[in-house]
Amino acid sequence: MKVKVLLSTICLVFLSGCAGNSFKEARKGEPHAFLTFEKYTEGALAAMGGNRVYPVEINGIPPSDFKLSRDFRIPPGKTLILAHSTGSLITVYSSFLEFDAKDGESYDVRIRYFPKYVRFMVVDRAGEIVDESNVAKAANYKANK
């Protein structure tokens, strides 16, 4: 009995310490836009199950480590995302993306790989790019210095 109480207390302390530091999604009844981080499944990465772009921060706040979905409800207005994608086991690409989220709109964060750079994009429901950023691949960055 004492062991159960002790374990329960430890779990509550651990979870309560993590809960306050993560991005809070807009509630379903509040105005919001939808933000999805796509799984990249083109080219050689498709053979390995694809790759994905994922959020490190949304409006300066990291998403919960316990969130398994790639979908978020974000408040309308200026939105700043820090996104990561792994190009291999040791290469990580990062980019900031900024756009004005509109209530009821859906946005996809996408990534595309090119020979010399990686492109991060935010695309709205109509397929229009609302922000994009090109990140040089490490080998090309060193070669261009």
pTM of the entire predicted model: 0.73
Write out the two tokens for 77: 């207005």
Q: How confident is the model at residue 17 (pLDDT cuts 50, 70, 90)?
A: very low
- Residue labelled with tokens 């900024």: 98
Give the chain's largest Cα–Cα span.
65
Q: How far apart are CA 127 and CA 91, in angstroms?
A: 29
3-state secondary structure of 107: strand
Q: How confident is the model at residue 21 (pLDDT cuts 50, 70, 90)?
A: confident
pLDDT at 102: 95
Q: How confident is the model at residue 5 (pLDDT cuts 50, 70, 90)?
A: very low
pLDDT digits (tens, 9 = 90+) for 43-91: 555 555 556 788 888 888 888 766 656 788 889 999 999 998 876 666 6
pLDDT digits (tens, 9 = 90+) for 119-130: 999 999 999 999
DSSP conformational letter for 27: P
AA letter at 10: I
User: Which run of H or E residues covers position 16?
Assistant: helix 2-19
Name the residue among 50, 45, 53, 43 with its Cα closest to residue 120: 53
CA distances for 84 relative to 29, 91, 93, angstroms: 30, 10, 6
